[in-house]
């Protein structure tokens, strides 16, 4: 988990902490994430999480993570697929980590052991970290908005 957070912070710093107009797709977005965004991120754990099982959160997160991959990348879950292609902008990757955190919370509540996480959780988190580190190793697709020359 620490590696994921550190990788995201490094990626954000690589891109100059700039925000873009590009966002991750809302299609297949986990319902718990929708509730959290509607609350303006004021709560640590959104209400719907209390009604969800670990399997629900795992499924919602994996389906969304798969749906936001570039068209050239497929996820057979046997390992990262490496291609010399461009990734989209980074805006919104923290939402993916938020979903992973909620999934972890549900797992720990079910197992009653804070040191235990499922193999599936580790596998998905490992892929997310790989994507973040891969993106951090590439040049951003364009200059951040604030660094574009002003006209007029």
How far is Cα 116 from Cα 7, in angstroms, rounded to an integer?
22
- What is the separation of C-alpha 143 from the centre of its chain, rounded to a whole number of angstroms? 22
Per-residue pLDDT at 116: 76
How far is Cα 98 from Cα 101, in angstroms, rounded to an integer?
5
Per-residue pLDDT at 151: 42
Which helix H or strand E contains 119, and what residues bound it?
A: helix 119-136
Annotated domain spans of the chain = 2-16+33-76+86-143
- What averages of pLDDT result for each successive group of 10 residues across the chain (152 residues)? 85 72 72 80 70 86 85 61 50 82 85 72 90 74 37 41
Output the CA torsion sign for 39, 131, 4, 137. Answer: negative
Per-residue pLDDT at 125: 92
Per-residue pLDDT at 142: 39
Task: Please name the residues in contact with 89: beta carbons below 8 A apart, sequence gap of 6 or more.
Answer: 15, 20, 22, 140, 141
Tracing tokens 């957070």 back to the chain, one arrives at 5
Helices (H), 22-142: 31-38, 54-67, 93-111, 119-136
Supply the DSSP symbol for 82.
P
Per-residue pLDDT at 5: 86
Q: How many Cβ atoms from other residues are within 10 Å of residue 68's Cβ?
A: 19
């Amino acid at each position: 988990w620490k590696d994921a957070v550190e990788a995201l912070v490094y990626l954000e710093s690589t891109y100059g902490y700039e925000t873009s107009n590009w966002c991750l797709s809302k299609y297949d977005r986990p319902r718990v994430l929708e509730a959290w965004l509607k609350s303006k991120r004021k709560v640590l754990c959104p209400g719907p999480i209390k009604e969800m099982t670990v399997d629900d959160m795992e499924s919602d997160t994996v389906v969304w993570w798969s749906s936001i991959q570039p068209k050239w990348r497929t996820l057979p879950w046997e390992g990262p697929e490496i291609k010399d292609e461009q990734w989209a902008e980074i805006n919104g990757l923290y939402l993916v980590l938020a979903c992973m955190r909620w999934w972890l919370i549900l797992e720990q509540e079910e197992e009653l052991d804070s040191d235990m996480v499922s193999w599936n959780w580790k596998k998905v988190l490992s892929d997310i970290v790989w994507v973040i580190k891969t993106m951090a190793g590439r040049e951003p697709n364009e200059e951040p908005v604030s660094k574009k020359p002003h006209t007029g």
